[in-house]
Structure 1
């Protein structure tokens, strides 16, 4: 007869894996990793740097001025307004200041910054008619920033007339070409920065040197750096009559007159060089040793008279002069 073993001894005899009675203090087995469900470890997102904006593209350079960019119609419209609407405008009169205000608006509309340069003008006789003393003004138009000492060019025309003359040819024609150039230069580049000036009180108020008050005031106020860096000044004075363009200098031909003649050849415009001519605002610059010349001055019957009306001006001659100046600037 077999003797019954105690329960714990019997269990050990059969298998070492038996745990016996849980109630007797045995420890339950732990499941293996292959059978236990696991949770993914929390992850921390990698830091991100702010997005780098794409580089700003360089602005495209402005196209170069072309002689075909200048609209003769703009010049003729200025002649019609100044001679037909404003009329006679000696440099110290209310009519002159109305003309200046209108021209300033035209320049501003073409994208130019316009400064006013006031100066005194004496009383006197202008072509046998009395004129009163008083202030006058130059309009100085610029584009962008021109650094002191940077080479530059100037194109100017006088805005005033003698008493009684509507001044279509003398000198709404020159003013008209300046305004047409201002319009054409919007968004266009030239070989050097350009300053446009409409001068006051150019017409004589007596014999000798009693004239060109506006351009004298401009030259007097030029800084030494501007004097050194000016590469050329052109006065447009009576540029709407004839079929040949006069190129005038005070003494002898200079770099400006030579450059204008070369520009005229490039655009097939005939010219004639006239030396020893000082009857315009270029004289104020030349007297100070600055490079200057004049375009215009073909004789005509209505000179300094009530007959200087719009019909005197030939649009084809305005176009020739505009092309010459544009070719010189570009």
Structure 2
């Protein structure tokens, strides 16, 4: 994964290393049909780009600086959604359930358990150069941890790059809407070649596992699906996420996915300011339409955690956050966001052999996990799901989150 926080002013003009020629496709206008193996029978057709978006794409393909006019257009577009994001944040805070149980769950997050997961997962690179053996070991470890928590473990085989690796997932709770609706938190366990990937992305995998432990017996009214995924690296089409989405939306009772978050590098922080930006905050970044989703996590952090979450949504022609597993859900018309410490804009060990456990901030990772626990529990406890993003599909919002799958 690679991320450039243009919308937050952290950088500009970065090319997308996950896409051919550095030019990431934008979010789709229509959802594609997802096959059981994660393939798409009919690829999404992006909406016609604006002149500003075309300029950004062209300069990204050249791996050069974004033209000043494009940056200005992007800044104006980002500013235009600031007011709605602030309003959504206020609404999210006021609608949080008044639950001491959620606070207790948040407090149960264990920093030592998180770092034990990271140490185990980041013992070696988890790419396909060893026929996927190290990545398979990470998947097996994750599955065993989930079994230890007393939850049902499911796997989905996914083939790519000449190897097969599993999606490992569990569904927790759902007493109000059994088998019909769910929120999703995912983290990928694979790495780029040569990197042990403590931050990218043993940290995200560890956060998913600890969230599962804490919420396993919480009795959530609407279910939460927690999954660790293969094949996020080197980038699109995010086959692991697509396979999970297909499994959730099909079967005897296809679930309506109400929202999805990708835990993508959530373990590195610094007390320093860089270009005026704090380096000790967790970013929750999504496209327009995911305001309620991202601001609920921020509000949960404010109430039950350290209050160190920056929640933002950006226009659909901004390509820079379309770079992790949440993109598969967004392209299907589902509110989706990426939780991240900022990637290469913050962590100097990004995609290097120096991305090791001793470079992480255990306290920051624990706080990110508390945000996931509080946000997911709050979303589950609420009666209405967040609205669908503006991808050309019919809105998914309804007064009854127990209705069938989207679209």
User: How far apart, CA to CA, are the structure 2 residues paired with 1:265 and 1:191?
Assistant: 23
User: How far apart, CA to CA, are the structure 1 residues paired with 2:221 and 2:198?
Assistant: 31
> What secondary structure does 2:136 align onto?
helix
Residue by residue over 1:278-330, the C-alpha shift from the partner in whole angstroms, topping out at 9 and shown as x without a partner, is 11110000011012111114221110110101112101111211111111122
Bigger relative contact order, structure 1 or 2 (CA pairs below 8 A, ≥6 apart):
2
* Count of aligned pairs: 252
In the alignment, structure 1 segments of 5+ residues that lack a partner are 1-62, 124-132
Contact 1:72–1:322, Cα closer than 8 Å, also in 2: no
Per the normalisation by structure 2, the TM-score is 0.58
Offset, 1:250: 3.8
User: How far apart, CA to CA, are the structure 2 residues paired with 1:111 and 1:228?
Assistant: 22
Larger Rg: 1
Per the normalisation by structure 1, the TM-score is 0.70
> What secondary structure does 2:248 align onto?
coil
2:326 to 282, 287, 291: 282
Offset, 1:191: 4.5
Which residue of the partner structure matches residue 65 of structure 2? Answer: none
Which residue of the partner structure matches residue 28 of structure 2? Answer: none
Q: How does 1:174-213 map to 2 (within 5 A)?
A: 174-204=204-234, 209=236, 211-213=237-239
Offset, 1:102: 1.1
RMSD (Å) for aligned C-alpha atoms: 2.3
Contact 1:153–1:231, Cα closer than 8 Å, also in 2: yes
User: How far apart, CA to CA, are the structure 2 residues paired with 1:280 and 1:173?
Assistant: 14
User: How far apart, CA to CA, are the structure 1 residues paired with 2:371 and 2:256?
Assistant: 23
Offset, 1:151: 2.6
2:182 to 152, 175, 180: 152
**Runs of 4 or more consecutive aligned structure 1 residues displaced over 4 Å after TM superposition:** 144-149, 224-228
Which residue of the partner structure matches residue 113 of structure 1? Answer: 152
Asked whether 1:141 is paired with 2:170, we answer yes
In the alignment, structure 2 segments of 5+ residues that lack a partner are 1-100, 270-279, 378-407
Contact 2:126–2:135, Cα closer than 8 Å, also in 1: yes
2:200 to 157, 170, 188: 170
Residue by residue over 1:118-151, the C-alpha shift from the partner in whole angstroms, topping out at 9 and shown as x without a partner, is 1211x3xxxxxxxxx2212100113467766633
Contact 1:75–1:175, Cα closer than 8 Å, also in 2: no
Q: How does 1:299-310 map to 2 (within 5 A)?
A: 299-310=346-357
2:311 to 258, 273, 295: 273
